[in-house]
Amino acid sequence: MRRSLPLAAGLLACLPALADYPDKPVTLVVPFAAGGPTDKVARDLAEALRKPLGATLIIENIGGVGGTLGANRVAKAAPDGYTLLLHHIGLASATALYRTLPYKTLEDFEYLGMVNEVPMTLVGRASLPANTYAELARWLDANKGKINLAHAGTGSASHLCGLLFQAAIKIDMTTVPYKGTAPAMNDLLGGQVDIMCDQTTNTTGQIESGKVKAYVVTTTKRLAAPALAKLPTAEEAGLKGFNVSVWHGLYAPRGTPKAVVDKINAALRVALTDADFHKRQEALGAVIINDARLAPAEHKKFVEAEINKLGPVIKAAGQYAD
């Protein structure tokens, strides 16, 4: 019986901490640079989670290697509920794109529930001599070998979208990686790069102000947001099989106690009904998740299905992968 004593003592020792969770600020890791689309979702979510979770969430931006550095920081963090990760489709595409990753996507995280889906837009520098997708297609064809496409690193959503775009039009481009699409957008605004495929949470304001040119949205239906409603879908523009919607989910390190996982999931469900969160996200084209994928088990099943779906898609586009 003595063998079970240390284990029981260990469990008892952590019970007060569990009961009081959270009793200090929680770190929310964003695996891309501040100011980009992932960061925008995270900051809106942190505000909506503050009350239902009963803690301040402090954003920590860890960009680099297509989001895998930040993901690994959380995979290796203490499983105590005080280090969480907000990540997106890149968690799945990186699994298909990297031969080795410093973490195991389906084993090293607790899945806490999904957050939203964000459409992508194909945007270009304001000085591009192309105002419609047809004109852009002609310009791309005439400038083969001289086109620079920006993204947030191999495995990021912008990289995946760029990969699928190159495969759809069969034109190879010079791809320029950044620690996030906030710095990438700066170079697009400055004319240092030609085009980028990025989430509407980062491009809507620039499209509205005319600082970038917008060509298509990557959703199967046109978007409701006023600044984006006039944009044709990729399908309408003749781009077959080029549909990308960037889903976001919340994660904790594997081994985070179930009571803590359940508390965070319950708080997430409340946060996603927050009126201000809805208003801010929907104004940028995002759609809040309100289905079975709010549950951790369904969230994990969805990500596994996405990994299995994206693998062959990325392999087929492989000649364009960095």
Q: For binding to ligand MLT (CB under 6 A), which residues are involved?
A: 32-33, 36-38, 90, 152, 156-158, 180-182, 199
Residue 90: CB minimum distance to ligand MLT, A? 5
Residue 245: CB minimum distance to ligand MLT, A? 13
Pairs from 96-100 (Cβ < 8 Å, separation ≥ 24):
96/307, 96/310, 96/311, 96/314, 96/315, 97/66, 97/154, 97/155, 97/314, 97/321, 98/68, 98/154, 98/155
Rounded CA-CA distance 9/129 in Å is 70
Rounded CA-CA distance 195/282 in Å is 25
In the complex with ligand MLT, which residue's Cβ is closer, 33 or 188? 33
Residue 133's φ and ψ, nearest 5 degrees, are -65, -35
Residue 81: CB minimum distance to ligand MLT, A? 24
Rounded CA-CA distance 74/96 in Å is 20
Cβ 252 vs Cβ 75: under 8 Å: no
Residue 93: CB minimum distance to ligand MLT, A? 9
Residue 61: CB minimum distance to ligand MLT, A? 9
Hey, what are 14's tokens?
A: 């952590």
Q: DSSP state, 52?
A: I
Give the CB-nearest residue to ligand MLT: 36
Residue 116: CB minimum distance to ligand MLT, A? 12
Rounded CA-CA distance 267/252 in Å is 14
Q: Which amino acid is at 313?
A: V
Nearest to 88 by CA among 307, 297, 248: 248
In the complex with ligand MLT, which residue's Cβ is closer, 52 or 124? 124
In the complex with ligand MLT, which residue's Cβ is closer, 27 or 139? 27
What is residue 119's three-state secondary structure? Answer: strand
In the complex with ligand MLT, which residue's Cβ is closer, 68 or 265? 68
**Parallel/antiparallel/unpaired status of strands 245-253 and 109-125:** antiparallel
In the complex with ligand MLT, which residue's Cβ is closer, 60 or 80? 60
In the complex with ligand MLT, which residue's Cβ is closer, 125 or 151? 151
Residue 284: CB minimum distance to ligand MLT, A? 13
In the complex with ligand MLT, which residue's Cβ is closer, 195 or 261? 195
